[in-house]
Structure formats: structure tokens, C-alpha cells
DNA sequence: TAATATACTGTATAATTATACTAGAAGAAG
DNA sequence: CTTCTTCTAGTATAATTATACAGTATATTA
């Protein structure tokens, strides 16, 4: 487990789970068989610029950095409305066609959004290939994306 | 010094000064002759949902809540471009005319932005009256606002 | 390869932040 | 005014987070 992978995982965790303190991270990682200490998490958090947000419900919760977290879906929506051409799925793959030059931006947004359905994605000039976790995820993800248009 | 006032002040401080830890708040307030303890600040921060952001430069810094902080000026810019009609100053007052129905939104944004020149503001349907700290502030604020158009 | 520099992480602990508890202040109701 | 309730805030301390230090690993250079 390299630092980069761990960081990636932390970004996912912070979106999928409720992380109230750094030890929660430690434990979630432990669940996945990854051993790290709170100190390491503290440093990771600093590098990733994760923030601890006072929640409405009285507690606290870690979150993605504001710029990253804020209105990604709004940006996605705008870009989709502007540049979407077509979409199709095949097994666990989703292929989105965009107007020329827009695929990279779309791919970046999709990666940043960190959807749990998505395993990874590759962007060309007018095509984004999204590799989902499985067939079902791909369909769910397709619906998600289409709903932006 | 009521809690509300202190909260208001904290919002200003967090924008005008570099606050690295809660004690910095305590000290800044002390500078202004207001005595509170770190515990109170901690509770204030929770209520205001201020966040502690890992800064690029290695340290940490408190910030406004993401939604509030994020791109207020972008919103202001958009609204000004859309709805601005005229502006004028008189002593420490600035009067902005907007298209009907837009003044309230503008006023809210101006208040949220927490410009240090601004003492307060009142919005009608197509007019926002901004009361600045003094004549000079009013002019500075006018320039600020005009630059959005 | 050896030497040196750089990156990563755990341990221990310092630094910071949150909160249980308590008490006084400010209001509301009688 | 008295009693009850709610809100605030300080004190002391628990809980959480950051970091100095040291060791190991990994990369870089000669």
C-alpha cells in the first residue's frame, strides 16, 4: 500500500462513510487490512487538505476540500449540458462521447466526484471511458450521468 | 458583548486576519478589549461552522464555511452583471439600484461577503443601501462594486 | 556499488480542540 | 418578586490532532 493509493482510498472513504475523527479513518483502513497510525492519517489529511466540518447534528465530520467538494455536480451538469454527445454501456464500461476537446475536463470531473460506482476513467479528446465496478454500477452510473442533461 | 456580535466579529476576523488556531481568535478579540476563553471560541466555531483548512504553506488556517466562502465574489459578479442599474455615494452611504426584485439578493451577498468597509446594509426591491464605516470606506466600496460589472 | 539525499511512517508527546460540569445571567410565567 | 427555564460562558479536563524525532526504505548521483 503506497501513500498515493491510501490517499485515493481516503478520498473515497470520506465520501462513502461518516468519518468523525482520524481514528475512524484508521479503523476503516484496518477493516480493509491496511495498517496505519493516526499520525499518518493526520499527515495525509494535511496533504489532501481534508477538512473537519462542524455538522448540523452536533458532531463533526471530515470532508473533501471545499473547492473540490463544492458543486462538482453543478460543474458536471454545466459541462454535460454543453458538451454531451452520446453515452453507451457495455458490461462494466461506460463510454461517453463529448464535443471535441471536452472529454478530458469531463473525465477529470468524474474522477474528482469520486462516484462509488466508478473504478477509474480514461479520457481522450472527445471520449471518456469509465470503468465501473461491475455491470450494475455501470448502469447506475449511466443513469446518474444522463440525469445531468 | 453578546454572542451574536461576537459571531459577527469572528466572521470578519477570519477573513481579515490569518487565524491559525483558536487562541489566535482569543487574542484578536482581546486586542479589541473582548475577553473570552478558548472554550467559548470552540463553541462559536462549531455554531458558525468555521473550518480549519490545511494551508498550502504548511500550516493551518480557519476559514468561513465552504458554501459561504466559496465564490461569493463570483456570485456577486454574476448578479451585478445581470441586475446592476446604478450606484452613488453620499457621505458614508452607498446606494445601489438594481433591476426590480434583485436588491435583496444583492444585499444578502454583500452582507455575506463581509467586506470590512461595510457596516450594514438594507435592501428593498430594487435598491440596496449600504452603510459604510466612513466616507473613505464608502468610496473604496463603490470602486469594489463597480469593478464587478 | 557506495554514498548521499529524499520520502515515508511509527512512537511518543506536545499542541490544540471539545466538552462535562457548574454557575451566573437573562427571560418567561405565575 | 419568586420560581422555573433557557442560554452563556468559564474551569478543568478529556479527546483529538499535530509534530519532533528516529528509523527504515526508496531514490539519486557519482
Is the pLDDT higher at A3 or at B78? A3
Helices (H) then strands (E): counts for chain A: 7, 6
- State yes or no: pLDDT of B21 exceeds 90: yes
Residue-range domain boundaries for chain A:
3-68, 71-146
In this structure, how many other beta carbons lie within 10 angstroms of the beta carbon of residue B24? Answer: 17
pLDDT above 70 as % of chain A: 91
Q: Which of A46, A60, A75 is best to mutate for the B interface (most B CBs within 10 A)?
A: A46
CATH 3.40.50.10320 assigned to domain B71-146? The reply is no
Query: What pLDDT does B59 receive?
Result: 86
Domain B3-67: CATH architecture, name and number where available: Orthogonal Bundle (1.10)
Interface contact B33, partner A, CB < 8 A: no
Whether any strand D atom is under 7 angstroms from the Cβ of A55: the reply reads no
Q: What is the fold of A3-68?
A: Arc Repressor Mutant, subunit A (1.10.10)
How much of chain B exceeds pLDDT 70, in percent?
91
B23: nearest nucleotide, CA–C1' criterion = C16
pLDDT in tens, B82-122: 788 888 888 889 999 988 878 888 888 887 676 767 888 88
Kindly state the cell numbers that stand for A96: 461517453
Task: List pLDDT tens digits, range A84-120.
Answer: 888 888 888 989 998 888 888 888 888 767 676 788 8
Backbone angles phi, psi at B57, to 5 degrees: -75, 10
C1' of D25 to CA of A138 (Å): 40
Chain D bases near protein Cβ (<7 Å): 7-12, 15-20
A61-82 confidence digits (pLDDT tens):
998 887 655 566 777 877 888 7
Using a 10 angstrom Cβ sphere, with 0-12 exposed, 13-18 middle and 19 or more buried, the burial of residue A137 is buried
> CB neighbours of A38 closer than 8 A, spacing ≥ 6?
A22, A23, A26
Of B54, B63, B66, the CB nearest to A69: B66
Q: Decide if pLDDT at A29 tops 80.
A: yes
Q: Are A79 and A118 in contact (CB under 8 A)?
A: no
Contacts of B73 (CB under 8 A, 6+ apart): B113, B148
* pLDDT (mean) for A31-43: 93
What is the model's pLDDT at position A51? 93
Q: Is the pLDDT confidence value at B67 over 70?
A: no
Quickly give B48 CA vs D2 C1' distance in Å: 37
User: Using 50, 70 and 90 to split pLDDT, how confident is the model at A52?
Assistant: very high
CA-based nearest residue to B102, from B110, B94, B114, B113: B110
Q: What is the pLDDT of residue B69?
A: 56
Amino acid at each position: 500500500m503506497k501513500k498515493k493509493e491510501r490517499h485515493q482510498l481516503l478520498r473515497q472513504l470520506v465520501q462513502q462513510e461518516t468519518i468523525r475523527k482520524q481514528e475512524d479513518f484508521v479503523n476503516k483502513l484496518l477493516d480493509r487490512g491496511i495498517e496505519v497510525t493516526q499520525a499518518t492519517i493526520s499527515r495525509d489529511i494535511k496533504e489532501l487538505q481534508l477538512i473537519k466540518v462542524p455538522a448540523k447534528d452536533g458532531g463533526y465530520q471530515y470532508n473533501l476540500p471545499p473547492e473540490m467538494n463544492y458543486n462538482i455536480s453543478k460543474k458536471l451538469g454545466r459541462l454535460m449540458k454543453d458538451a454531451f454527445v452520446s453515452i453507451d454501456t457495455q458490461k462494466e464500461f461506460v463510454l461517453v462521447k463529448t464535443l471535441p476537446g471536452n472529454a478530458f475536463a469531463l473525465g477529470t470531473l468524474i474522477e474528482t466526484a469520486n462516484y462509488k460506482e466508478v473504478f477509474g476513467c480514461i479520457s481522450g479528446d472527445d471520449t471518456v471511458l469509465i470503468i465501473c465496478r461491475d455491470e450494475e454500477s455501470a448502469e447506475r452510473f449511466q443513469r446518474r450521468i444522463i440525469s445531468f442533461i
